[in-house]
Chains A and B, each alone.
Chain A
Amino acid sequence: MDTKKLYEKLSNRLLDLEKLPKLKEEKSISKHLDEKGVSRRDFMKWATAITAMLALPASFTPLVAKAAKLSDRLPIIWLHMAECTGCSESLLRSDAPTIDSLIFDYISLEYHETLMAAAGWQAEHNLESAIEKYKGQYILMVEGGIPSGDSASFLTIGGHGKTGEQSAIEASNNAAAIFAIGTCSSYGGVQAAIPNPTGAVGLSKVTDKTVINVPGCPPSEKNIVGTLLHYILYGTLPALDAYNRPKWAYGQRIHDLCERRGHFDAGEFVEEFGDEGAKKGYCLYKVGCKGPYTFNNCSKNKFNSHMSWPIQAGHGCIGCSEPDFWDTMGPFEEPVANRLYDTVFKGLGADATADKVGVGLLTVTGIGIAAHAAISKFKNPKEGEE
C-alpha cells in the first residue's frame, strides 16, 4: 500500500474511533499536557519517536499523536495467568506515556489484579461487568501461561474456583483485540519448558480468536505500549510473522542490529567473561549469545527508558522472545554448536534436540555463524597482557 493510501486509511480509522462513545468526558489533550507540564513540543517529540518505532513515515506523526488522544475510547482488561508479574512490572517502567497518565488520562484499565484496589467478590464483579459493559470493544491483555485441559486446575481464581483457562476463554470471546503480553502468554513460557508439569500453553492455544503475540521475558515497555498504539491507529492486526509477532517490533534479528556486530565481523570475541575482550565490548557469541537466532528490537529500544539491554551489560542474549527458548537456547552461556549432550533432552545430541523441539536452530545461518566464530583467530587475552 502506498503511503498516501495508508495515510488515508489511518485517518479514516481515527475518524471512526472519534465517533465511538467516549469512556470519559471531553478533555483536550493539550490542556491535559499543559497541566502536567508537558509542552506540545515534548508531546510531538514523543509521537515522532513512536512513529519511527512503528516503522511509519515521519509524516504520520500527527496521526500518532491523534491516536494517543483517542486511546481513551478503549477499555483494557488485563488478566494474570501462570506468571511472575514481570510483564506488569515492565509496563510500570514505561516512560511515555507515563503509567500514571495511562491509568488516569488515557486508557481505562478496568481490571488488573496487581494494581486494582478491589479484591475478592468485588474484583470478580469488576471483571464480569467490564466484559458485559464493553462487549466487543475492550482490548484484552493476558500475562502468563495457561495451565490447560486436564491440568487446568493448577490455576484457579475467585470464590467459585474458576480455572484460569475458563477466565481466559470467557474474556477472549468478547474482546475487540487480544494481545498476549510476554513469552509465557505467547507460547507457554517457563512453566511450559520440558517437562511442562502443568500442561501450560500460550493463549492462542485456548482461544480460537486471533492473538497478537508480544513476547519477551519480559517484553520492553515500548513494545507493549507500541502494540497498543498500533492497534488504535490501524484498528486491524499489524503485519505478523510466523509466530504472530508484530513485524515492526520483531522483524529483525538481534544480531543484525547489535552494537557489537562490528566485532563479530572482525572476529573479535569475548572468550571468557571478565577478559580483556569483555572490557572492550567484543562480540559475545562464544560465551553463548543467541542474538543470531532471536528476533526483537532490544538493541534499538533498549529497556527502562533506554538505560541498557543485556548485551550492553556484557551478557549474551538468551533468546527470550523465541518460542520454547528455555529448551532451544540453553545452555545460555554456550554457543549453540557446543551444546552439552547430556541435557534435559535425555542424551539426544544438539541437532536431534532442535528437531525434536520443533525449531531447527542449526539452519544454514546457524552453521555459518558457528563456523565463522570457530575459524576466527583465537586470541587468549590473558597472554602478553599485563
Chain B
Amino acid sequence: MANKRVIVDPITRIEGHLRIEVEIDDNNVIQKAYSSSTLWRGLETIVKNRDPRDAGFLMQRICGVCTFSHYRAGIEAVEDALGIVPPLNAKLTRSLMNMSLFMHDHVVHFYHLHGLDWVDVVAALDADPEKAAKEAFKYSEAPIATGENDLIKVKKRVKEFVDRGQLGPFANAYWGHKTYRFTPEQNLILLAHYLKALEVQRDLAKLMAMFGGKQPHPQSLTVGGVTCIMDLLDPSRMGEYLTLFKKGVDFVENAYQADVIMAGKIFKDEPSVTQQAGVMNFMAHKEMQLNRSEFLFDSGIIYEGDLSKVFDINEDLITEEATHSWYADDEALHPYDGKTNPEYTGFRDMDTIGADGTEVHSKVIDEKGKYSWIKSPRYDNKPMEVGPLACILISYAKGNERIVPLVDDFLAKTGLPKAALFTALGRTAARMIQARAIAKYGLEAFNTLIENLKVDQDTYTSYKIDKNLEYKGRFIGDVPRGMLSHWIRIKNGVVENYQAVVPSTWNAGPIDALGQVGPYEANLIGLKVADVSQPLEIIRIIHSFDPCIACAVHVMDKKGTDLGTYRVDPNYGTSC
C-alpha cells in the first residue's frame, strides 16, 4: 500500500507559523518528513537603506520571544563593522540581560510550550495530592508549590475546568494518549509547576526590564554601549536584580531541574523522547561573558556525535541555499553575498489523514519543488543541529569546568548513558543545564560589574560613521535557540545588505541540493506514530527544538529586485 500523508498545521505552542507533513507506511512509521514555514515577513529587505543605528531595533522585531537576541545581534554587527569596542560595563550589562532571557525563555519553553507534550492534564485528576506531595521530595530536597494543600487546590481548579467542559486552551488536545507516561501524581506536580512558572517567568522577565525599560523588546542597547547608566548606578536597583535573580535560581534548581530529571527517568523508554537525533553534527558559538575575559559556554563543532574531537568554526564555510525554498536562486552562498528573489509556488491538492482518521481533502506541499520560506543553511556543505544541546555538548567535549559537572550530575541523577544526550530528551535537558549554569555562575558577571563600576563608569564608546567608507561586519553568538549570526554591509552611511542566519533556520530548513535533510526532518524519519489522528510524538519532537519560526524565515524582495551580490576581495572592497 502507498504511504499516507499526515499534515500538522498549525504546530501550536511555538513562536511563528510552522507546518509539518509526514508520509507514513502501513505500520505508522514515518518514511519521509517535510518542515515548512508558512509565513514570510521580509525584515532584512526592510532594513536596507536605513540608518545602521536603527538596524538593531528593526531586527529585534524578528521575534518577541527571544526579544533580546536579535536586538543585541543587530547592534553588535554594526559595532563589529565600525570597529567599536563597547566598555566593559556595557558588555556585562548585556550579559545580565541575556541571562534573564535564557532563564526566562527556557522556563517558559519547558512548562508552557513543551510541557503539555509530557503532562496529561486530564490524568492529573486521578492524583492523590498527599502522595504527590511526597513524590515531589524524590526529585528535590526543597520542592516548590507542591505541598499537599497546594496540590489540592491545583487539582480542584483543574477539575472544575474539566467538569465544565470549558477546557479553554487545554481543549481538544491529546489527553489519554498512550505515550504519556507520568503517573497521575507526577502529572499533578508538573501542573502545579505549570501554574507556578507563569508567576516565576514574570519575575525573570523583570530582570531584563530593569535595565532594558521593558520586556519584550527592551530599548537600552545602542551602538557603542548601553543607555541604562542611571539604573546601574542605583544600589537599590542592583539589589533588586540580586533578589529576583535568586528567586529564579530557586525555581530552576528545585522545580525545573527536578521535573526534567523526573521526565528523564519516566520517559526513558519512549521512542519519541529517546530516539537518537537524526543529524549528529552539532555547532555552537561561545557566549555569556562572565568577567573581563571568560565566557560561560564554548565554541566549536562536533561531527557524527563524536565527543572526543571538537573542531574550530571557520565562518567562511557557512552558506545558505534555497533548492526547496520559495526563492528563485538556489545556489549556496555565504551570508555576506546573500541573493534572494521570490518564487512562491504554493501548495498542491491531495487527500491526507484528518482528525478522525479518515481521508480529508487538503493542500499539501510540493516536496519535489519548493515548499518553505525557510532556507537551508549548511556548514562545509553539511547540515548542523544548533541549540542548547549543541552548546552543552561542545562545552562538555571541551572539558569546560563549569559545564562538565552539571552534565554528569544530570546523567547520574537519571541513570542515563551519555548516548541519551543525543535525543529529544537531551535537548530538553540541555536547556535545563544551561539555565542551571547561568543560575550557578551568572552572578560572576554581576559581581564583576559592581566592582568595575566603583572605578569606571563608562557605558558608551563614541564613534563616527564615515559616509565615504564602506563597512562590513557580523555578530556571532549562541542565543537560547542556538547559534545566531547577523551579517551587515554599510555603504553611503546606510545599510546596504543584511542577512540573519538564525538558529531555527539551521534546524528547520528543508532538503538541500545534495538531498540532505535538516534536523527537524531527520528527527522525524523512522519515528512510529501510535495514532495517526493524534500526532503527539511529532509535536513532542518538534517542540524539543523550541521552534522560533518568525526568526527562521528569510529575506527576499517581492519585486524580484536583485539584492546585489558581492565578491569580497582581500582589500575589503566589493565589486558588484
Contacts and interface: CB of A to CB of B under 8 A. Distances in A.
Interface of A: 23-25, 27, 35, 80, 82-90, 92-93, 95, 98-100, 103-105, 108-110, 112-126, 151, 153-161, 164, 189-191, 193-200, 217-218, 220, 272-275, 278-279, 281, 302-305, 307-315, 318, 326, 330-334, 340, 342-344, 346
Interface string B348-381: 0000101100001011000000000000000000
A229 to B, nearest CB: 19
- Minimum-distance CB pairs A-B, first 5: A86-B64, A274-B460, A161-B363, A117-B173, A313-B213
B58 interface: yes
Nearest to B556: A197
Given A27-B160, A315-B219, A159 B360 contact: yes
A108 B168 contact: yes
Contacts of A281: 230
Main DSSP-derived SS at the B contact region: loop
Given A25-B160, A84-B63, A157-B38, A116 B209 contact: no
A98 to B, nearest CB: 7
B473 interface: no
B41 A191 contact: yes
User: Which of A98, A109, A117, A124 is packed against the most chain B CB atoms within 10 Å?
Assistant: A117
Contact of B355 (A88, A103, A122): A122
Contacts of B354: 121, 159
Size category, B interface: 35 or more
Contacts, number: 327
B270 interface: no
Given A82-B41, A273-B224, A119 B558 contact: no
Interface of B: 7-17, 38-43, 45-46, 48-51, 53-54, 57-58, 61-65, 67, 108, 112-113, 116, 121, 153, 156-157, 160-161, 163-164, 166, 168-174, 195, 198-199, 201-202, 205-206, 209-220, 222, 224-231, 233, 344, 346-347, 352, 354-355, 360, 362-363, 457-460, 462, 467, 492-494, 533-535, 539, 550, 556-559
B216 A86 contact: yes
Given A92-B201, A115-B169, A279-B457, A331 B54 contact: yes
9 contacts: A82-B41, A109-B168, A118-B172, A120-B9, A191-B46, A279-B457, A315-B213, A315-B222, A340-B493
Contact of B227 (A157, A198, A278, A309): A278
Given A100-B195, A153-B346, A272-B460, 16 more contacts: A86-B65, A89-B216, A98-B199, A104-B161, A116-B12, A116-B13, A116-B170, A118-B12, A155-B17, A190-B43, A197-B558, A274-B225, A304-B202, A308-B210, A308-B231, A313-B218
B227 A197 contact: no
A312 B458 contact: no
B51 A340 contact: yes
Nearest to B352: A159
A151 B557 CA distance: 12
Contacts of B355: 120-122, 125
B46 A154 contact: no
B363 A159 contact: yes
A127 to B, nearest CB: 10
Given A315-B213, A332-B54, A89 B13 contact: no
B227 A158 contact: no
Given A87-B64, A315-B219, A331-B53, A191 B225 contact: no
Contacts of A191: 41-43, 46
Nearest to B171: A126
B180 to A, nearest CB: 12
A154 B54 contact: no
A285 to B, nearest CB: 14
Given A89-B65, A89-B67, A92-B201, A159 B160 contact: no
Contact of A217 (B217, B230, B462): B217
A171 to B, nearest CB: 14
B211 A313 contact: yes
A309 B213 contact: yes
B301 to A, nearest CB: 30
A362 to B, nearest CB: 18
Given A108-B166, A157-B9, A117 B227 contact: no
A118 B167 CA distance: 11
Nearest to A382: B462
A343 B50 contact: yes
A200 B43 CA distance: 12
A133 B534 CA distance: 24
A103 B158 CA distance: 11
B153 A35 contact: yes
B11 A119 contact: yes
A51 to B, nearest CB: 23
A121 B532 CA distance: 12
Contacts of A308: 209-210, 212-214, 231
A313 B212 contact: yes
B8 A120 contact: yes
Contacts of A195: 45-46, 557-559
Nearest to A78: B169
Nearest to B228: A313
Nearest to B13: A114
A230 B228 CA distance: 34
A114 B62 CA distance: 16
B214 A120 contact: no
A292 B105 CA distance: 34
Contacts of A160: 362-363
A198 B166 contact: no
Contacts of A113: 10, 12-13
Contacts of A109: 168-169
B58 A343 contact: no
B172 A274 contact: no
Given A84-B61, A92-B201, A311 B51 contact: no
Given A85-B16, A157-B17, A333-B53, A307 B206 contact: yes
A133 to B, nearest CB: 11
Contact of A120 (B10, B201, B230): B10
Contact of B557 (A83, A90, A155, A197): A197
A95 to B, nearest CB: 6
Given A279-B230, A281-B230, A118 B210 contact: no
A262 to B, nearest CB: 15
Contacts of B228: 313-315
Nearest to A151: B558
A123 B10 contact: yes
Contacts of B213: 303, 308-313, 315
Contact of B169 (A83, A117, A199, A272): A117
A334 to B, nearest CB: 8
B199 A309 contact: no
Contacts of B161: 104
B38 A100 contact: no
